[in-house]
Structures are given as structure tokens and as C-alpha cells.
Structure 1
Amino acid sequence: MKKILFFAFILFSANTITAQDDSIVNSLDKKNEIKLNAVMLLVGAFEMSYERNLNDDSSAGISAFVPFDDEVFEDYNYSISPYYRIYFSRKYAAGFFVEGFTMLNSIDHQKIWIYDNNGNLLEKKTDTYVDLALGFGIGGKWVTKRGIVFELVGGIGRNLLHADEFGTTIVGKFGFNLGYRF
């Protein structure tokens, strides 16, 4: 009985190994990626990205950033950032890259609270402005054969429209993105 079970186990294992080799799809055939920034989730914000691989060494994408922890991101409302990347690796749209990006960001500048004599809040005013930034970044991307994407990226940019009025001139991008290439 033990010999029959052992033989059945060997046959099942060999069949499973063969089936796994057949099911692996080359990540070169896939052009789309969706990613989630794991670092920002830990600190209180949601950032998701979509990227389209244009060819072996370039891609274009867009990311959306929305904070959900007001204590960490007190004045920051959202940002939307389209980007273009050039890869310097022999792998398809992976490895070391440089990127140029624009960022549309919304920030609360001035908050005014008006209280009555008893300390009750009567009115709250907030001046919100939207600015446009240009910047660049660097990073690295690793893709498994099954299409799992690991990415480390950092960048810096400068607001162009209201930087002199409100004093928020520098914007940044940072993340450890996890995703899937499909």
C-alpha cells in the first residue's frame, strides 16, 4: 500500500511540475501594469498607479495620491501625476530608470477657525489651491516571470503656479510599489 501511494505521489508531482511550466506566461507579452504604493499605505495615504509599457525601454503612466490620515497629511488633499520613463536595462521595461513627471496637487493653505465666547466652533474657513509641478525621478523595477512587479522610486519637483504666494515650492514622490503586469 505504501508503494502504491508513493508511486501515485511521484506521478502527481511530475504532472504538477509539467503543468506549472506550461502555465508560465512570458511577462514580455504583457504591456499594462497596475501598482499600489505600500509605503504610503503605512503612513496614511492611498496611491495607485497605472503604467503602459510602450516598448523595450520606455513606458508612460499615471498615479493618483489621496491621503486618508489627516494627522500625517494635514494640508494635503490629493495629487495626480502623469509620468514618462526610460529604462536602462536589457530586460523588457524593467531595471534602472529615470522619469520625468508633472503633478497636479491640491493643498489647503490657510485655515481660520472662528469660535464664540464659550469656545464653540462657529465657522471654519480654508483656502485651497491647486498647483502644477514639473519634476524628475529615478528608480528600479523588477518583474517576475509571472508578472509580479516590485518597484522602488523617488523623485522631486517644483510647483510652478502658486509657489511664491503660499511657499510650497517643492513636491516629492517616493514609494515602494507592488503590482501586477498584465
Structure 2
Amino acid sequence: MMKKIHCIVLLFLGSIIFCFGQEETNFPQYKNQISTNLLLPFAGSFDLTYERTIANKWAVGLSGAIYGDDFGDFDTESSGYYDRTTNFEIMPFVRFYLNSTKTNGHFFEVFGSISQVEQTGGYVRNVNDQGYGVYVIGSENYIVGGLGTGYGYRFLFMKNRLVVEGQLGIRTNFSTNFFFLNVALVRTGIKIGYRF
């Protein structure tokens, strides 16, 4: 009698595992995602993000953004003397999903930043025809690196193909001439994307 009960319990547990195993294979495993921020066009800007799933809870990706003149209203990169405006930015990132890359859920992100910054209102050294250095108030462009972090929530629709994300990201830049901490909201907004 005891052997029959053990056999029935084992068959029952085996059938449950088999059912869950079948259910998992019915859904395709989408490892690639492309998305864009819906709010940036209102600031005359555009971004595009590519994400690749590398494990159950981990993904890596690359994002690029071109910022318009209106984006400077959201940027805090200014001092009492200079105004700094980010023209474009490339951001490699690593993302950790609390639940799984296959479901709705919270995620944390760490990203790097390489951006072109235009600084206006400062003294710029120009060389005249005679070879002398002349300082005038003007603008100059330079490349700067930075680090940032972000948090968000992702919703999946249409058999996990359509993506809607809400995200908040904060980045600081490091200058090559000196070290300055300036916080800017990047990778922030409502994003829509497609998984394949």
C-alpha cells in the first residue's frame, strides 16, 4: 500500500514538472530588444537603445542619444561662469532584472557615458595670424566620459514582443581637464520597444 502511494505522489509531481516544462517551451525566448524614448522628441531629441539578454536576469546593451537645444532645460551641466550643453551621447549599460528578463518587473542599471559637450561663456584661446595666443569669450567642444545608474519597470505585451518601460536614470560626467560632478537626467522617460 505504501509503495502505491509513493508511486502516485511521484507520478503526480512528475506530471506537474512536465506541464511546467511544456509551458516554458511554448513561449519563444526573445533575446534582443530595440527601444526608444517617447518623451525626448518633445525636447527636440532622439535616442535608440539595443539590449541583448545574456542570462535569466542579466542583459547588456548600447544606447545612443542626440540632444536638441530644448534638452538643455533638463540638464544641470552649468556653473556660474559657463554653460555646458551635451550634444550627443553613447551609453553602454548592464541591466539586472529582479524577476527575470522574460516577465514584467523591476530592473536596475549601471551605465557608462561618452558624450560631446559644448561649453560656452568661457575664455577660449585662439592663435592669430602672427602666432600669438588671444583669449576671447567663446565656445568649445570636447569629449567627456561619465558614469550613471538607473531604475525602472518593464511591461511586456503581445506575447512578450511589445515593451513599455518607465525609467529614471542619473549620470555624472568627468572632465579631462578637471574633475566636476554634475548630475543630468539621462535614460529617463517612457520607452517603447520591440523584442525579437
TM-score, normalised with respect to structure 1: 0.70
The 8 Å contact of residues 102 and 160 in structure 2, kept in 1 or not, is answered as: no
Which residue in the other structure is 1:103 paired with? 113
Distance 1:131 1:49 in 2: 20
C-alpha deviations, 1:67-121, integer Å up to 9, x for none? 24x2443832101111101111156264101111101111111258xxxxxxxxx
Distance 2:173 2:50 in 1: 23
Which residue in the other structure is 1:80 paired with? 90
SS at match of 1:134: strand
Distance 2:100 2:51 in 1: 19
Distance 1:48 1:107 in 2: 19
| Aligned-residue offset at 1:148 | 0.2
Which residue in the other structure is 1:53 paired with? 53
| Aligned-residue offset at 1:172 | 2.4
Q: Given the alignment of the two structures, is residue 170 of structure 1 paired with residue 180 of structure 2, yes or no?
A: no
Distance 2:192 2:50 in 1: 12
| Aligned-residue offset at 1:142 | 1.3
| Aligned-residue offset at 1:163 | 7.9
Distance 1:107 1:72 in 2: 13
SS at match of 1:73: helix
Task: Give 1:150's aligned amino acid.
Answer: V
The 8 Å contact of residues 58 and 101 in structure 2, kept in 1 or not, is answered as: no
Percent of residue pairs identical: 26
| Aligned-residue offset at 1:171 | 2.8
The 8 Å contact of residues 53 and 101 in structure 2, kept in 1 or not, is answered as: no
What aligned pairs does 1:2-151 form with structure 2 within 5 A after superposition? 26=27, 28-68=28-68, 70-73=69-72, 75-90=85-100, 92=102, 94-110=104-120, 125-144=138-157, 145-151=159-165
Distance 1:142 1:43 in 2: 25
Q: What count of residue pairs does the alignment treat as equivalent?
A: 145
Which residue in the other structure is 2:194 paired with? 180
| Aligned-residue offset at 1:146 | 4.7
| Aligned-residue offset at 1:130 | 1.4
Compared with structure 1, are the counterparts of its residues 32 and 91 closer, same or farther at alpha carbon in structure 2 (3 Å cutoff)? Answer: closer
Which residue in the other structure is 1:14 paired with? none
Unaligned runs of 5+ in 1: 1-24, 113-123
The 8 Å contact of residues 55 and 92 in structure 1, kept in 2 or not, is answered as: no
Distance 1:78 1:84 in 2: 20
What aligned pairs does 1:152-167 form with structure 2 within 5 A after superposition? 152-162=166-176, 164=178
| Deviating 4+ runs (over 4 angstroms) | 162-165
The 8 Å contact of residues 87 and 93 in structure 1, kept in 2 or not, is answered as: no
Unaligned runs of 5+ in 2: 1-25, 74-84, 123-136
